[in-house]
A and B are shown apart, each in its own frame.
Chain A
Amino acid sequence: MRSVFKYLAVASLLGLPIAGHADTGDAEAGEKVFQQCKGCHQVGAGAKHRSGPHLNGLFGRKAASLDDFRYSKSFQRAGAGGLEWHADTLDVFLENPRAMASGTRMSFRGIKNADDRANLIVYLRTFSDDPANIPEADPTAQALDHDLDPAILALKGDPEYGEYLSGECTTCHQAAGGDDGIPSITLWPEDQFVVAMHAYKTKQRNHPVMQMIAGRLGDDEIAALAAYFKDLEN
């Protein structure tokens, strides 16, 4: 996180636009991960069904929807139930295939490493329609979940000031990080903390008390609180 914030601070000084958080992986690394799948699945030019279906045009496809492959009952049910293959459903599936479709013939334990999955998904994505040519094709990245001014995100908070201001928070939120009905606010990544507080301030998040508290905090004060709470361990 710290290095990201250094980049943000430098970028904002230079007036550079700041790269989004849109998810991307590395297709080349993904091709290596795909070695594990190759025993049963083919992808690319001339790919055919093996014990598993070929994976061309996978993204945006309904599960079990290729006419010429004999799917397990489990996948047929999943397809009939509306399962479609997108980056998010593939991520869940690849982490633990049997959790999503218990009777599948796919005897694979899954890929526990999230980066490996992300890379594999980016690699497989290259064999489905390209949105540049077919604009309705599946997305290739996830949107930023906020539109906060990068200059606000780039503010470097003063944790000492944050500690002073935190008195107002710890009346309800436990400094020790416990959650007994009121959420824990310690050890949050700074950017998430700042985004959340500004969402209350601009009333995009609904909670009357938080809207009131955040409403009178300035940008520097929110940054200070984020800087303080991010390291608060007891």
Chain B
Amino acid sequence: MTLNRRTFLGASAVAAATLAAPMVRAQGKPRVVVIGGGAGGATAARYIAKDSKGDVDVTLIEPTRTYYTCFFSNLYLGGIKDIDDLGHSYGGLAAGGVNVVHDWAVGVDRDAKTVTLAGGGSLPYDKLILSPGIDFVDGAVSGWDLSAQNAMPHAYKGGSQTELLKAQLKAMPEGGTFAMVAPPNPYRCPPGPYERVSMVAHYLKANNPTAKIIVADPKPKFSKMALFQEGWNNHYAGMVDWIGEDFGGGEVSVDPATMTVTIDGEETKVDVCNVIPAMKAGRIAEIAGVTDGNWAPVNAADMSSKADPDIYVLGDASQQGDMPKSGFSANSQAKVCANAVRGALTGSKVFPAKFSNTCWSLIDANDGVKVGATYEATDEKIAKVDGFISQTGETSDVRKATYEESEGWYAGITADMFGASV
């Protein structure tokens, strides 16, 4: 046969198609695909690869090359951390035996058990772990949508949005107004918006002391409320105006074109507007068909989806009973899930689920507070069984020790997620 151009192209198209749909099954090894390389996904991928000692093929799909943690991002806004302190590469995971694919997962075929990638090709799985974090509910704040996120950043996913909000904070005119539209329950990191208020106030006190902060909140109360309000009075007297549900904090609309915020009918011109809309599970969970409403219900014992026993959902995207949506929770759930997935695939021993969480928040430099709890799996949900919270009126030594503990935790959880740096 003579190769003419046409047949040559045909042949290479076949070859390309073969490449585009790679048969990655590595000699009958069970395959785990993890979508999302944050506190849930990175931890699960690392633990399964590490503990199965090569007996399970683990692929992590994560679009970003450098992961910027959302936790501690408020400390960057406050000038206490550098943005580079928050960035982590996936090199340690790759070196630890995880196949790291930098791409977007755009489809899940639950019958064929494959994940489709935006870059083409698909990955087969025996067990799929979804840890996609959050997306925002459309139309949650009147006047705001994703196209407005440059004028009015959410800064509720780590990285560029956080840096944008910091730039806007720095550019505020003297005596200007920083507005925050706080989210309704449930949302990622319950104390997060209030730690952000504290850190913004910390920055402004040093750089723009006559500036004001307004918070429009659809909730009547929030986590660590007494601690934050005590701290705002002590450190930033007169700067923070929190408008809760009782005073119309939920009746909010924004106009990104004119930089105005209307709270309970009263319009205010602002200089920075941080809109944190209502949240839902990261979109791929919805595409996979494992959500019910905004979140993905899971079985508490192993984090498996109630819709599909071969899919697990971790962290913020899951409907996780009493656990707050936090990086700590996701990391804790990931270890329970990794143990269960490895057991299902290799017959290794599966231990009962134990979960824990602690949320540290920084109110001012060296003024740290925390709330934490332990959880167990019941038939219905992950249930809180015990807990603790910092007290108002604690000494500065106690608060400093709490902050230092949070720094230790940050070093610990990021090492637990990403492995030793290469």
- Taking a contact as CB atoms closer than 8 A, the residue among B321, B323, B351, B389 that contacts A136 in the complex is B389
A140 touches B350 (CB 8 A): no
- Taking a contact as CB atoms closer than 8 A, the residue among B222, B340, B352 that contacts A150 in the complex is B352
Residues from chain B with Cβ under 8 Å of A16 in the complex: 301, 350
A141 touches B383 (CB 8 A): yes
B302 at interface by CB-CB < 8 Å: yes
A45 at interface by CB-CB < 8 Å: no
A18 at interface by CB-CB < 8 Å: yes
- CB-CB contacts below 8 Å: A131-153 with B: 131-144, 149-151
A22 touches B376 (CB 8 A): yes
A141 touches B350 (CB 8 A): no
- Taking a contact as CB atoms closer than 8 A, the residue among B320, B353, B379, B385 that contacts A17 in the complex is B353
Contact with B along A105-137 (1 / 0, CB 8 A): 000000000000000000000000111111111
Residues from chain B with Cβ under 8 Å of A22 in the complex: 376-378, 383, 385
A19 at interface by CB-CB < 8 Å: yes
B384 touches A131 (CB 8 A): yes
Residues from chain B with Cβ under 8 Å of A15 in the complex: 343-344, 347, 349-350
Residues from chain A with Cβ under 8 Å of B372 in the complex: 135
B352 touches A139 (CB 8 A): no
Interface residues contributed by chain B, number (CB under 8 Å): 42
B224 at interface by CB-CB < 8 Å: yes
B223 touches A136 (CB 8 A): yes
Residues from chain B with Cβ under 8 Å of A150 in the complex: 351-352
Asked whether A20 and B384 contact (CB < 8 A) given A133-B324, A136-B371, A140-B322, the answer is no
A24 at interface by CB-CB < 8 Å: yes
Residues from chain A with Cβ under 8 Å of B350 in the complex: 15-17
Residues from chain A with Cβ under 8 Å of B185 in the complex: 130, 132-133
Contact with A along B372-388 (1 / 0, CB 8 A): 11101111110111110
Asked whether A143 and B221 contact (CB < 8 A) given A22-B383, A134-B190, the answer is no
Contact with A along B23-50 (1 / 0, CB 8 A): 0000000000000000000000000000
B223 touches A19 (CB 8 A): no
Asked whether A24 and B324 contact (CB < 8 A) given A133-B186, A134-B190, A135-B190, the answer is no
- Taking a contact as CB atoms closer than 8 A, the residue among B301, B322, B340, B377 that contacts A131 in the complex is B322
A20 touches B387 (CB 8 A): no
CA distance A135 to B376 in the complex (A): 15
Asked whether A135 and B223 contact (CB < 8 A) given A19-B301, A24-B378, the answer is yes
Contact with A along B221-250 (1 / 0, CB 8 A): 111100000000000000000000000000
Asked whether A140 and B384 contact (CB < 8 A) given A17-B350, A134-B222, A135-B190, the answer is yes
Residues from chain B with Cβ under 8 Å of A131 in the complex: 322-324, 373, 384, 387
Q: How many A-B residue pairs have CB under 8 A?
A: 105
B377 touches A20 (CB 8 A): yes
- Smallest Cβ distance from A84 to chain B, in angstroms? 14
Residues from chain A with Cβ under 8 Å of B340 in the complex: 17
B373 touches A19 (CB 8 A): no
Residues from chain B with Cβ under 8 Å of A136 in the complex: 223-224, 371, 373, 387, 389
B384 touches A139 (CB 8 A): yes
- Taking a contact as CB atoms closer than 8 A, the residue among A17, A24, A151 that contacts B380 in the complex is A24
- Taking a contact as CB atoms closer than 8 A, the residue among A18, A24, A134, A149 that contacts B383 in the complex is A24
CA distance A65 to B310 in the complex (A): 49
B73 at interface by CB-CB < 8 Å: no
CA distance A140 to B359 in the complex (A): 19
Cβ-closest chain A residue relative to B326: A135
A142 touches B377 (CB 8 A): no
Residues from chain B with Cβ under 8 Å of A151 in the complex: 349
- Smallest Cβ distance from B90 to chain A, in angstroms? 29
B280 at interface by CB-CB < 8 Å: no
- Smallest Cβ distance from B195 to chain A, in angstroms? 13
Cβ-closest chain A residue relative to B377: A20
Asked whether A143 and B349 contact (CB < 8 A) given A24-B380, A135-B324, the answer is no
CA distance A9 to B315 in the complex (A): 31
A139 touches B371 (CB 8 A): no
B357 at interface by CB-CB < 8 Å: yes
- Smallest Cβ distance from B286 to chain A, in angstroms? 20
B385 touches A143 (CB 8 A): yes
Chain B residues in contact with chain A, CB under 8 A? 185-186, 190, 221-224, 301-302, 320-325, 340, 343-344, 347, 349-353, 357, 359, 371-374, 376-381, 383-387, 389
Chain A residues in contact with chain B, CB under 8 A? 15-20, 22, 24, 129-144, 149-151
Report 28 cross-chain contacts, Cβ distance below 8 Å, ordered by A residue: A15-B344, A15-B350, A16-B350, A17-B377, A18-B352, A19-B377, A19-B378, A19-B379, A20-B376, A22-B377, A22-B385, A24-B379, A132-B185, A132-B322, A133-B190, A133-B324, A135-B357, A135-B372, A135-B389, A136-B223, A136-B371, A138-B384, A139-B373, A139-B387, A141-B385, A143-B385, A143-B386, A150-B351
Given contacts A135-B324, A136-B387, A138-B384, 15 further A-B contacts (CB under 8 A): A15-B350, A17-B377, A19-B378, A19-B379, A20-B376, A22-B385, A24-B383, A131-B322, A131-B323, A131-B324, A135-B389, A137-B384, A139-B373, A140-B383, A140-B384
